[in-house]
Structure 1
Amino acid sequence: ERGLTVLMVSHQLDALPGIDAQAAFIEDGRIAATGPATELLTRPPLPEIADYLGYAGLAS
């Protein structure tokens, strides 16, 4: 409504699915993946993200 951009940094992943936003996964100081928060959480694009989320073996 106001045209603002907000940057939220959190390790509490349970807050992300309710937010219609883009997310980034940062590993070793670099951005490893970006995309819609719900997509990164439900279909992790990298094995490192799947492992972090506890979904070992589910990365595409």
Structure 2
Amino acid sequence: MNRDILKGKWNQFKGTIKEKWGDLTDDDLLQIEGDADKLSGKLQEKYGWAKEDADRKVDELLRDDS
């Protein structure tokens, strides 16, 4: 799935994201608003991952849903 599609399916993804990455709060999800780059940045912040690792995790999430 293309990263741009995350914004269109954001409401569907929020539950999956909270299950997968429980450290993300509702406020975090409001700030992210379906933006894959913001999600990646928030994962870096919360989990201390490198940018490449966070990007890979987001891409895996999108790929698994398609």
TM range (shorter): 0.3 to 0.5
Looking at both structures, which has the greater relative contact order when contacts are Cα pairs under 8 Å and sequence separation is at least 6?
2
Which has the greater radius of gyration? Answer: 1
Higher strand share: 1
Tell me the TM-score normalized by structure 2.
0.31
Tell me the TM-score normalized by structure 1.
0.32
